[in-house]
């Protein structure tokens, strides 16, 4: 798409004028005869039109990434960058998956149930040292299968190309997974229904199997948690996500096309011949974790394990997934990435505090360090230590006392009925990370909406303080989240996409 060119002289004058207007606004605000309490309330709350909480059936794509300067938004044109992919919610009108299978779009209660399954899987994986289950069957068709009743593998998808000639595939992207896989013909076991044609390796001139005697095959153990198997000298991978969903098939290499100028030969991926799970019609999954088989690791020679994304504010808008340094906001603030000994492929983070309505909650630092935390693009609702969640919910409830309470929704227990209101005032929430990094949560990241009569605080508590906390994707909405794998840093910038 073409980018609008603005002359530097015009842009500088425009910025100067805007900042002058901002200064006048600020001076006017200071001169108002408002009470201290009123000023504090206005500064530390979001005013939300209730009608905007309702889902839209019309796709309104964000054509530019925006940056806030002096309360004004400026286009950064990151979507024009050659190494960027458009991100859409798999159950939203901007996704072809949505139009392909409207009848099977899950309810919010089902989505939250799937989220519980994903979190339990993560907690289980981190609660013990990583064991390894042998994929010891000699034929991929004979891998025992569980019924894929639920899957919590992520909400956001991108489209990439695989093979020669290139076949476009819509894949879930997941920072909590490492191996990339797609369903392949022939489905010698079971293949679930997907929107794209199933990839046929026999029709690609650049496809080849990995030998089960190779060191590359052995590297699957750390990426999947399972020891690879062998079928007619071909390496067999198997990955199960802890919630009955799985993919089993041949480990192979193929040409991967991210964009017209970003093409990678010999990309290692799973060619799934036996797959089950409710993947929402997606053709598979892109692993963005930290293992050597993940996409960032396999493309490190070009991108230096540097990528960023922005999750859209709603399912009817779009965001981006960008590789390399291009288009990253100059206002990004970095915190240090940590490594969890039990799960080195997860992106560990240090949460140090929370504020609600401009007030820092009195939570001891030891509450956050007891279990540690990760950031995960596939978990929907942020999970906090119960001590921290109780403090957050209590303070949020005090500031929302004017609104009638509603029944809990699954794991969400702080809910409100906005039926009789045209607009509501919701306290701002910020999460604080190590290094003095404050990340304000967007208004759309504070609330989870089932119906107007049941709008809930979009946070939940773990079972106990020793379980790992998870910074989920609802709270990441509209942030540009920057992963610097080589530098060991994680960055946040507000106003990433709108």
If DSSP codes are grouped into helix, strand and coil, which group holds residue 25?
helix
CA 406 from centre of chain = 28
At residue 445's C-alpha, the angle toward residues 443 and 329, to 5°, is 85
Cα dihedral 264, 265, 268, 274 sign:
positive
CB 158 within 8 A of CB 86: yes
Half-sphere exposure of 25 (CA within 13 A, CB side): 9
Give the phi and the psi of residue 154 in degrees, each rounded to 5. Answer: 125, 155
Q: Which of 389, 356, 357 is nearest to 469 (CA)?
A: 389
Rounded Cα–Cα distance for residues 479 and 496 (Å): 5
Which residues contact residue 229 at a Cβ distance below 8 angstroms, ignoring those fewer than 6 apart? 134, 135, 136, 137, 138, 140, 212, 235, 236, 238
Rounded Cα–Cα distance for residues 72 and 284 (Å): 39
Which residues contact residue 118 at a Cβ distance below 8 angstroms, ignoring those fewer than 6 apart? 152, 153, 176, 241, 242, 243, 378, 379
Alpha helical stretches, state H, 145-241 = 215-218, 220-224
CB 213 within 8 A of CB 233: yes
- Catalytic residue set: 174, 376
Within 10 Å of residue 150's Cβ, how many Cβ atoms?
20
CB 68 within 8 A of CB 497: no
Q: Which residue matches tokens 């109780």?
A: 390
Q: Which of 183, 100, 189, 118 is nearest to 147 (CA)?
A: 189
Q: Which two tokens stand for residue 124?
A: 């289980």
Tell me the DSSP string of 427-452.
E-EEEEETTTEEEEPPGGGTEEEEET
Quick one: which H or E segment has residue 482?
Answer: strand 480-484
Q: How many helices (H) and strands (E) does the chain have?
A: 11, 35
């Amino acid at each position: 798409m073409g980018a609008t060119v603005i002359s530097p002289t015009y842009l500088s004058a425009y910025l100067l004028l805007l900042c002058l207007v901002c200064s006048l606004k600020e001076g006017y605000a200071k001169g108002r005869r408002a009470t201290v309490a009123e000023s504090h309330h206005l500064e530390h709350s979001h005013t939300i039109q209730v009608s905007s909480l309702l889902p839209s059936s019309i796709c309104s794509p964000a054509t530019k990434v925006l940056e806030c300067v002096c309360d004004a938004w400026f286009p950064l044109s990151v979507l024009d960058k050659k190494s960027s992919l458009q991100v859409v919610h798999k159950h939203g009108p901007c996704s072809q998956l949505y139009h392909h299978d409207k009848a099977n779009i899950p309810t919010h209660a089902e989505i939250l149930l799937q989220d519980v399954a994903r979190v339990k899987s993560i907690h289980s994986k981190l609660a013990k040292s990583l064991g390894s289950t042998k994929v010891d069957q000699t034929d991929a068709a004979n891998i025992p299968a569980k019924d894929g009743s639920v899957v919590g593998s992520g909400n956001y998808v991108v489209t990439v190309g695989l093979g020669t000639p290139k076949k476009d595939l819509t894949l879930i992207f997941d920072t909590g997974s490492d191996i990339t896989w797609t369903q392949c013909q022939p489905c010698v076991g079971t293949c679930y229904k997907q929107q794209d044609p199933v990839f046929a390796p026999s029709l690609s001139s650049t496809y080849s199997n990995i030998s089960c005697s190779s060191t590359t095959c052995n590297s699957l153990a750390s990426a999947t948690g399972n020891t690879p198997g062998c079928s007619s000298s071909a390496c067999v991978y198997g990955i199960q996500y802890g919630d009955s969903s799985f993919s089993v098939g041949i480990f192979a290499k193929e040409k991967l096309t991210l964009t017209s100028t970003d093409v990678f030969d010999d990309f290692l991926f799973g060619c799934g011949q036996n797959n089950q799970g409710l993947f929402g019609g997606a053709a598979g999954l892109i692993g963005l974790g930290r293992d050597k088989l993940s996409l960032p690791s396999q493309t490190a020679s070009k991108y230096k394990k540097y990528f960023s994304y922005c999750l859209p504010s709603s399912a009817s808008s779009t965001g981006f997934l960008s590789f390399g340094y291009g288009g990253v906001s100059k206002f990004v603030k970095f915190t240090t990435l940590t490594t969890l000994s039990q799960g080195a492929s997860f992106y560990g983070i240090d949460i140090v505090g929370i504020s609600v309505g401009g007030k820092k909650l009195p939570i001891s630092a030891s509450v956050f360090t007891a279990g540690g935390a990760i950031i995960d693009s596939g978990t929907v609702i942020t999970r906090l230590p119960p001590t921290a969640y109780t403090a957050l919910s209590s303070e949020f409830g005090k500031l929302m006392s004017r609104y009638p309470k509603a029944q809990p929704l699954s794991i969400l227990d702080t809910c409100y009925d906005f039926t009789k209101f045209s607009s509501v005032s919701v306290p701002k929430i910020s999460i604080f990370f190590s290094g003095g990094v404050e990340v304000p949560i967007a208004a759309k990241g504070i609330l989870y909406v089932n119906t107007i009569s049941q709008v809930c605080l979009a946070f939940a508590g773990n079972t106990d303080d020793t379980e790992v906390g998870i910074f989920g994707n609802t709270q990441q909405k509209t942030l540009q989240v920057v992963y610097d794998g080589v530098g060991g840093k994680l960055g946040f910038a507000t106003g990433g996409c709108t």
